Copies of this chain bind each other. A is one copy, B any other.
């Protein structure tokens, strides 16, 4: 898990330039790296512009499955950052790519039952894969097996897969119907991401993993997770773009998701920024629980500020 070298701090012009020269592709986590909630971090826009002007490929990789990539482009635009849908990888999109490319669901034939928000079903729809459940408002009604509209004509036999992620409108109707589909023989179980919690407005709130694990416990089935640090996310990225892993760097604010994701994915580099939840002490401390990053920086913007 750990690498043998001491992380290099991006603290001089020479190191920043060496860092830029080493990689052609940069994968960025978003919250804690580019912004904190609704506040853009300093010199982020300038750093991204610098990468674009230098002909680097840039991808944004987030475990947030509640928004589609299309919705995410609006968040980027609100900060004045240009980002196309093709540059954005959410765990919901990764799950959709996984069921299409790895489970080989047939668009127009196989259907997916979704436990989660619109960020999953919208991505499936773009692939021509029909989904049920998700944000259907009828799932907010009390559940009674004798009156549920989802059981009236029996379960849909076209459903061959369940995708589950974070749903801040969780209901018993959703949980019960998701379990019903998972009780069917051969129905596959995919989780967007295993994060037990996520930070919001200074609070630590229940994350996707807490819901997926609840469903897994009821169903007695283990999910395949798609988000970071699971390599399905990286494999999904590699399945939609050319990726020279040795010339790719993962940039993130968490040692045991982002840095693990890059290290286990055999990427050429990893950069930990200290604008999220990690400290310099943790970055430098060797541990069996998380990998050591190759580089670290006080903030992403240092890459721009040191070279200009």
Q: Determine chain A's interface SS by DSSP, over half rule.
A: mixed
Whether A196 and B183, one on each chain, are in contact in the complex, defined by CB atoms closer than 8 angstroms, is no
Whether A206 and B175, one on each chain, are in contact in the complex, defined by CB atoms closer than 8 angstroms, is yes
- How far, in whole Å, are A179 and B168 apart by their CA atoms in the complex? 14
Select the residue from A143, A202, A206, A220 with max chain B CB neighbours within 10 A.
A206
Q: Smallest CB–CB gap between A152 and chain B, Å?
A: 14
Within the oligomer, what is the number of copies of this chain?
2
Pick from A50-58, A208-216, A264-272 the stretch touching chain B: A208-216
Binary B-proximity of A202-228 (CB < 8 A = 1, otherwise 0): 111111011101110110100000000
User: Quick one: given A170-B170, A175-B170, are A204 and B217 in contact (CB under 8 Å)?
Assistant: no
Whether B204 and A214, one on each chain, are in contact in the complex, defined by CB atoms closer than 8 angstroms, is no
Tally of chain A residues near chain B (CB < 8 A): 34
Whether B220 and A215, one on each chain, are in contact in the complex, defined by CB atoms closer than 8 angstroms, is no
Chain B residues within an 8 Å CB radius of A143: 168, 205
Interface residues, chain A, with chain B CB atoms under 8 Å away: 142-143, 145-146, 167-172, 175-176, 179-180, 183, 196-197, 200-207, 209-211, 213-215, 217-218, 220
